[in-house]
């Protein structure tokens, strides 16, 4: 089981001891985020005129907003990753098809080279045969 960590943090001017299974650096990061959120919200018009409950509600709404935007961004990244996975899968199949076609064409090239070599040998034999016939002239009979 993971070790539980504790950290003293300053949130909104008060010192709190918070605990969790995350690192103390992460716990400080959370506290820093809450302080930044408090600073941003406190700059809104008429913030000081709100009741404690209204201030808390405003903070909760801002936290929910951050959460939903982050969740939407995560979902979009997951969709993009899934699309890229499908694209990679398709490209792999295209590559396999291209390799198979290349192998088929290489075999055809080899077959054609063999046929060409055979044809060249046949023509060479025929040319030698024709040349030999020209050199050999049987005596003509009268």
Give the CA angle between residues 54, 30, 8 to the nearest 5°.
Answer: 100
Residue 140: its pLDDT value, please?
56
What backbone torsions phi and psi does residue 16 show, to the nearest 5 degrees? -130, 150
Q: Establish if 100 belongs to a structural domain.
A: no
pTM of the model: 0.62
Structure tokens at 79: 């969709």
What is the domain extent for residue 25? 1-43
- 129 pLDDT exceeds 90? no
Q: Establish if 8 belongs to a structural domain.
A: yes
Type and span of the H or E element at 131: helix 52-135
- 135 pLDDT exceeds 80? no
Q: Are 9 and 33 in contact (CB under 8 A)?
A: no
Q: Establish if 27 belongs to a structural domain.
A: yes
* pLDDT tens digits along 67-126: 999 999 999 999 999 999 999 999 999 999 999 999 999 999 999 999 999 999 999 999
Q: Establish if 22 belongs to a structural domain.
A: yes
Domain count, the chain: 1
Q: Establish if 110 belongs to a structural domain.
A: no
Q: Establish if 130 belongs to a structural domain.
A: no
Average pLDDT, the chain: 93
Going 49 to 57 to 67 to 34, the CA torsion angle's sign is positive
């Amino acid at each position: 089981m993971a070790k539980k960590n504790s950290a003293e943090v300053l949130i909104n001017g008060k010192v709190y001891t918070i605990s969790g299974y995350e690192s103390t650096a992460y716990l400080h990061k959370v506290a820093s985020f809450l302080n930044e959120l408090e600073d941003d919200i406190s700059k809104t018009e008429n913030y000081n005129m709100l009741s404690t409950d209204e201030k808390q509600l405003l903070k909760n709404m801002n936290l929910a907003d951050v959460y939903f935007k982050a969740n939407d961004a995560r979902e979009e990244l997951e969709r993009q990753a899934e699309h890229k996975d499908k694209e990679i899968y398709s490209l792999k199949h295209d590559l396999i098809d291209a390799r198979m076609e290349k192998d088929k064409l290489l075999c055809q090239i080899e077959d054609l080279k063999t046929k060409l070599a055979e044809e060249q040998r046949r023509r060479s034999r025929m040319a030698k045969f024709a040349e030999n016939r020209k050199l050999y002239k049987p005596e003509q009979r009268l």
